[in-house]
Structures are given as C-alpha cells and as structure tokens.
Amino acid sequence: MMTPRSPSAPVSPLLLVFLLFVSVSSSLCSPASLHDAFLQCLLNNTQTLHGQQQEPSQMLHAPTDLSFPTLLGSLVRNRRFNTSSTPKPLLILTPSHPSHVQSAVVCARRTGAELRIRSGGHDFEGTSYVSRAPFLVLDMFNFRSVDVDVEQETAWVGTGATLGEVYYRIWEKSGLYGFNAGVCPTVGVGGHLSGGGYGNMLRKYGLASDSVVDAQIVDVEGRVLDRSSMGEDLFWAIRGGGGASFGVILSYRVRLVPVPNVVTVFRVWRTIEENATELVYQWQNIAPRTDNDLFMRLLLQPASSERQKGAKTVNASVLALFLGNADRLVSMLDGEFPELGLRKEDCAEMSWIESVLWWGDFDSGTAVEALLDRMPKSVSFLKRKSDYVQEPISREELELLWDKMIELGKVGFVFNPYGGKMGEIPVSDAPFPHRAGNLFKIQYSISWSEDGTEAEQSNLGKTRELYNFMTPYVSKNPRRAFLNYRDLDIGITENGENSYKEGSVYGVKYFAENFKRLVKVKTEVDPQNFFRNEQSIPVLPRSSSAMTQNSGSTERTRKVMVLVILFLFLKDLMTIYS
Ligand SMILES: Cc1cc2nc3c(=O)[nH]c(=O)nc-3n(C[C@H](O)[C@H](O)[C@H](O)COP(=O)(O)OP(=O)(O)OC[C@H]3O[C@@H](n4cnc5c(N)ncnc54)[C@H](O)[C@@H]3O)c2cc1C
C-alpha cells in the first residue's frame, strides 16, 4: 500500500534532479530535441558580428544529418576508434569564430555532457572524439589561419591548422625560417603544441611548446583570454600539460626558428648479421651528445633476413636531419661514429622545406603544396607506448632484445635522442619534465590493417609484452611517459571522487614533479572539472572536500542530467525513424 509522502520524506533523487535540470537549463529542455535546444542556447549566447560569421545553425551537426559520419570520421587517425561499436557524440560542433567557441562552452556546460575538443584528430587513444560518457565534439578545423610575421620572427597559428600548413606558410613568407615541431604534416597544432610536441630540431631548439610565446584560450566561463589576461600559471600549463584539461585553445603565437639554406638528410641501416648491435650500442652514446645541429633517429623493426631464407632478423635504421651541408656532416661522423660508416653518397642536400617532405615520406620531387593536404596517405589501427632511457642498454641486453622482438614479430621501436637544448631547459620551465638526464625516448610502435577484435587483442598484447620486457632498461619511480604518445594503459580516471588519486598514477608518469603545479592550476581555472577526459588533470582533493556536501550530489546530478539528455535524444531519434 502506498503511503502519502510526509513533508520530511526524501524526494526521489531522479525527480529532484529532473526538476533541477528543467529549472537550471530551461533553455535546453523546452525545445523538442537536444539539437534544437542547443541551437537556441547558441543563438542566445553568440554575439552577432555583422554578418562576418557563420550562422550558429551551420555549426551544429546532429547524428541524423547525412554528413555526420563523414564529418566525424574524416579526422579519425586511428581506426581502432572508427568502428560501429565506437561510442558516437550526441552532437558535433564546428565553430568558425571565437564567439562560437565561447557560446559552445557555455551551452555545453548546461547539458552536463562531456565536451571533447578536436584539432587534428591524431590522439593515439582517440580522446578528442570518443568517450564512454555522453559527449559532444568541438571540432576546431576551421581555426586554421597561420599569420607569419617575419620581422618579429613569430607566427600566430590557429589550433585547427596542421603542422604541414604551418611549415608551408612559414616557407611561403621566407626560406630563412622553419618551426621546431613534429615530422608528420597532418598532425594538428591544438593537441601537438598543448601536449609538448617535438620534431627533428628538438636537440637544437627544444619542443614546439618551448617556442610558444603567447596563446588565446576560451576558459570554462566562456571568456577569451590571452597570455596577459590568463596569467603565467595557465599559460605555463597549456605549453605541454595538454590543453584539454584547461579550456579550448584558439591559437598559439610561436617563435620561428632560423634554418640554413642547405640541410642534409640520410638513412642508413644494418641488420643483426651486419652488426646492428654495435651500431645501436654506440648510437646510445653518440646521438644524445653530438652537435646540436644533428638529430639521428633510430628505428628498430623485426624483419626477414635477406641472407638466410626463412630466418628473421632486426633491422636498425638511422634516419637523420643535419642543419648544415654533407661535407661537414660526413667528416664529423667519420670521427665520432665510425660504426655508422656514413659516406657522402648516403646523404642528400636540400632546402629545409624539402627535408620536411623527405621526413614526411613523400616521393622525391613531390610539390611543397602537398603539405597543405590534411588527409594522410592511409589510416591504420594503431597502438603506441613510450619510455625514457637514462643509462645505455648493454650489448648483451640488446641481444636479448633482438630475440624478444623476433619472437613477437611485429612491434617496432623509434628511439629519439635527447641532449642538446633539451638538457639545458629547466624542468620547471614547462609541464614537460623529461629534460637533462634522459638519453633518449622510446616509442613502441605497431600498426595493422586487419579488422576485428582478434587482431586488436593480439597486437595490443604483443606491445604490452614488449613494454614489460623493457622494464629493467628504462626510467623508474616513476616510469616516465610522453603525453603526446597517449597511452591509456598507464592509468585513467573516472573523473569521480577518486580523480586525484587516479590522476596521480598517470600524472607523475607524464609530468613528474610538474604534476602538482598542473593540479593547482586546474583547481584554480576549472574547479568543477568541466574540461575532462580519461587522462585529464584532476582538481585538488581539498577543493572537492570543500565542496563535500554538494560534490557527491553534483556528480550524481551530472550523471542523471546526462541520462535525461540521452532520453531526449533517443526519443528524438525514434520520432525521426518512426
Ligand atoms: C601519424 C602520427 C604522427 C605523429 N608524429 C608526432 C611527432 O612527430 N611528434 C610528436 O610530438 N607527436 C607526434 N604524434 C602525436 C601527436 O603530437 C599527438 O597525438 C597530438 O596530441 C595530436 O594533436 P591533434 O590536434 O592532431 O590531435 P587531437 O586528437 O585533435 O587532440 C589531441 C588532444 O589534444 C586536445 N586538444 C586538441 N585541440 C585542442 C584545443 N584546441 N584546445 C584544447 N585541447 C585540444 C584533445 O582534446 C586531445 O586530448 C603523432 C601522431 C600521429 C597519429
């Protein structure tokens, strides 16, 4: 028998939350669909700028739009997150003006859904366009202007631009400058610079984020801030701490770096039978200590032996950029690294912009305009992991490693030498902490093209096995990792009550002693943790406990609000399909 509710009896939490939802966000609830409600909110919140901007309706894309799958999929750079079972966003937002981003943040906060920010879509774990919680995607690809000021030796670059676009625009203005960012031209500025991206000039000029001198960000209140208005703490955080924890970065101002008229590139390789062991052993001592003008990347890949049919080997390739001519390079390496046996005919001299194409693996003679193409040649299933090496791996240990690589058969390594400028920049200068004392960074690399969970499980399993095998040879306490080689294996947060504890697990691996300062900045600029993902910077537990009375219920409220949105959304879909 039902009893009448006494005045003091608790109201059903669902009802309470629903009423709260209706009253707090009436502008989102009253229209029939989330799309309409969101649009209304955008209209109410977007400043009108005399016709020079896109209508807010044009920036909103619902799953029922025919273009939705293409829009979502066109910037997915890891096929693991482009399957029928990958969770899809409730809406995609494609702003083209800062005011759109401001209103998008304000309206997204009212929905209670997560906001995932995407620039180039290269995140190795898809955090910019996938979430297990209901979510919206804010796609920044329209923010791709690159304004180069040769006199000031700087450029303002939109976060939706690709590195290829940045390199091209700099080259177009002056052949005297380049920029010290990554080698893959389709990578987006937004994730790359905010995550501490590096390229083949890191020993000379440091990371791309070390060259940032100003930025524009939309904060959680929907304000547009630059370096002076955001303050030095937030500015520090978005130069390597990952933008997605702090706001939506619209653009960065970067310092251009001088490049010589002629640079030299080469690739030489050896197999185990050709004494790759000695080459790799010596590389560990020389590549991090040689002239800062020289970057020698080492690639290790299991391969079939050419000498013995059916036998397996490991191929070690050294791939280099030298900021100078071939004569100087050959005579330098002749003395320093005779095991490499570099000859002048192994080298190619070219302009810096041509070297960008060479490193991007374009065919020889490809026009520089190819750098403007945002589409990669192919998209595979990927897994990447990272490590830092502080002591050389001995010859005997390398032999054991070859055996393991041959046994696993597929996982490769990229060793990137540090030293040079990387050893000179103090750890506290930016969130990226892996500076002096690191000989090189390891990337574990596996890519495959077979669909299905079986292939995925097998390839992920092999990568993890190799990672475990490497434990004795890499950094410890914490075992360090590179944020831009995002790896959810090293820890995730559910963004609930334990977020600080969970965040500390991956946080110290990515940021070491800088993690604490990142948490402090996060707590100041986004205390309610609106900007969040599986590996975002958590807020301080003290601030959660300061909100104890309502933080638990805020979390519950948020979850139920999300359920309500989902309900409205599904109802909407059913109406359309019925
Ligand atoms: C093929 C390939 C080659 C690569 N080569 C290199 C390399 O040479 N050097 C190197 O350092 N790294 C390299 N990476 C890694 C790359 O730097 C990172 O994945 C980087 O984060 C990608 O940036 P994005 O904008 O393309 O990615 P996205 O997937 O769009 O974003 C990555 C992260 O940044 C956040 N984010 C994106 N834009 C914004 C914004 N405007 N405001 C706030 N947060 C934002 C996203 O939410 C997400 O968390 C490579 C990756 C791939 C797939």
Tens digit of each residue's pLDDT (9 = 90 or more) over 187-201: 999 999 999 999 999
Please report the pLDDT score of residue 151 as a whole number: 97
Structure-model confidence comparison of residues 577 and 268, the more confident one: 268
Neighbours of 27 (CB within 10 A): 16
Q: pTM score, two decimals?
A: 0.91
Residue 135 has pLDDT above 70, yes or no: yes
Strand partners, 91: 136
Ligand 1 binding site (Cβ under 6 Å of any ligand atom): 77, 116-124, 127-128, 140, 159, 182-184, 187-188, 190-192, 194-195, 197-199, 243-244, 248-249, 484, 533
Q: Please report, as a single letter, which amino acid is at residue 309.
A: K
| Residue 325: φ, ψ to 5° | -90, 170
Neighbours of 506 (CB within 10 A): 24
The pairing of beta strand 381-389 with beta strand 440-448: antiparallel
CA 239 remoteness from chain centre? 12
Contact 430, 512 (CB under 8 A): no
The pairing of beta strand 154-158 with beta strand 146-149: antiparallel
Distance in Å, CA 15 to ligand 1 centroid: 41
Helix (H) or strand (E) holding 267: strand 263-271
Average pLDDT over residues 562-574: 60
Please report the pLDDT score of residue 175 as a whole number: 92
Please report the pLDDT score of residue 547 as a whole number: 43
State how far the alpha carbon of 6 is from the alpha carbons of 11, 12, 35, 419, in Å.
Answer: 10, 13, 39, 72
Q: How confident is the model at residue 309 (pLDDT cuts 50, 70, 90)?
A: confident
Contact 293, 251 (CB under 8 A): no
CA atoms of 411 and 301, how far apart (whole Å): 7
Please report the pLDDT score of residue 484 as a whole number: 98
Which protein residue has the closest C-alpha to ligand 1 atom 15?
Answer: 484
Ligand 1 pocket mutation, candidates 102, 127, 128, criterion most atoms within 8 A of CB: 128
CA 353 remoteness from chain centre? 24
Distance in Å, CA 195 to ligand 1 centroid: 7
- Mean pLDDT score of the chain, rounded to an integer? 90
Please report the pLDDT score of residue 45 as a whole number: 86
Please report the pLDDT score of residue 9 as a whole number: 33
Which three-class secondary structure state does DSSP give residue 413? strand
Q: How confident is the model at residue 33 (pLDDT cuts 50, 70, 90)?
A: confident
Give the list of residues 6+ apart from residue 577 with CB closer than 8 angstroms, or none.
Answer: none
- Within 37-106, strands assigned E span 60-61, 91-93
Structure-model confidence comparison of residues 530 and 569, the more confident one: 530
Lowest mean pLDDT among 16-30, 221-235, 365-379: 16-30
Alpha helix ranges (H) inside 127-286: 163-173, 189-194, 202-205, 227-230, 232-237, 276-286
Which three-class secondary structure state does DSSP give residue 85? coil
Nearest atom in ligand 1 to the alpha carbon of residue 181 is 9
**Which of the residues 177, 252, 418, 485 is marked catalytic?**
485
Burial (Cβ within 10 Å: 0-12, 13-18, ≥19) of residue 507: buried
Q: Please report, as a single letter, which amino acid is at residue 149.
A: D
Q: Is 510 a catalytic residue?
A: no
